[in-house]
Amino acid sequence: MFQYVIESDTGKIRVVNEDSVAVLKRPDGLMLAIVADGMGGHKAGDVASKMTVERLSQYFLEDEDAAFLTIDNRRQWLSERVKTINRLVFDHASANPECKGMGTTLIAALIKDGEGVLCHIGDSRAYLIGESIKQLTRDHSYVNVLVDSGEISQEEAEEHPKKNWIVRALGTESRIEREMIDFSFADVPYLLICSDGLSNKIPKEELASIVRSAAPLSQKGQELVSLANDLGGEDNISLILLSSMDEEV
């Protein structure tokens, strides 16, 4: 059974924490890990992320076992449920003027027996960490559009002033393109899912170094948040760190 820690911090500048985070388990050992980062600068980003996490959690705990029997079942369930939630968040924003324009990033990962599938929207990230670190997700961002078109290099993207502009978010339109990613957690010790308040502040090799340390799992999570705050803490900082090893939490 996987061990995990959750951290979510407002940061040093923001007044409201617009991130929502959750880990849930079903009786058969299937886990769902969710990080949703409400869109900064938009009204009710915290409402969008909270709605998303709460509704997806509810579906996960209440839906029939048959929905999760195989990896194909899980992939379809996750894609369809996120599609439904996108419409719910969009309709809520349309019906409530104070929520107009709200949205959220999303990474939701279903994991069982070392095999996982995740749904990715926006610029929150997922990493597999062992002897090396592998980024599973690719930001749905304006600068990555520029990189793909050849207008700027990947190195230039890292320092681009519009680096944080995302081109895909849950709830901002009636339909959403969802990126589904299969991954194996069987031979890799750690899965890190985080909002950009963490990944924008700490280079991935430094993330990996902290995660691979001999410290208890909870201390690793706290150290990651503390370092992001020490480096500026301009954004909310949230993470889920899962371990497949038997180690101190």
Percent pLDDT > 90 in the chain is 78
Of residues 185 and 70, more confidently modeled:
70
Q: Is residue 200 within 8 Å of 186, Cβ to Cβ?
A: no
Q: What is the mean pLDDT of residues 169-177?
A: 94
pLDDT value at position 66? 93
Residue 151: pLDDT above 80?
A: no
pLDDT value at position 169? 94
Q: What is the DSSP letter of 216?
A: -
Q: What is the mean pLDDT of residues 141-161?
A: 71
Q: What is the mean pLDDT of residues 164-191?
A: 91
pLDDT value at position 43? 67
The sign one gets for the Cα dihedral 186, 209, 120, 39 is positive
Q: Strands 19-25 and 31-37, how do they pair? A: antiparallel
pLDDT value at position 31? 97
Q: What is the DSSP letter of 201?
A: T
Of residues 154 and 214, more confidently modeled:
214
The pLDDT tens digits of the residues spanning 92-137 come to: 999 998 898 899 999 999 999 889 999 999 999 999 999 999 999 9
| Structure confidence at residue 183 as a pLDDT band (50, 70, 90) | very high
d(C-alpha 74, C-alpha 85), whole Å: 16
| Structure confidence at residue 143 as a pLDDT band (50, 70, 90) | confident
pLDDT value at position 153? 66
Phi, psi of 248 (to 5 degrees): -70, 135
39 is written with which tokens?
Answer: 């869109």
pLDDT value at position 157? 65
Q: What is the mean pLDDT of residues 46-73?
A: 96
3-state SS class at 11: coil
d(C-alpha 122, C-alpha 120), whole Å: 7
pTM of the entire predicted model: 0.93
Cα 201 from chain centre? 16
Q: What is the mean pLDDT of residues 134-163?
A: 76
Residue 178: pLDDT above 70?
A: yes
Degrees, nearest 5: CA angle 21-22-28: 160
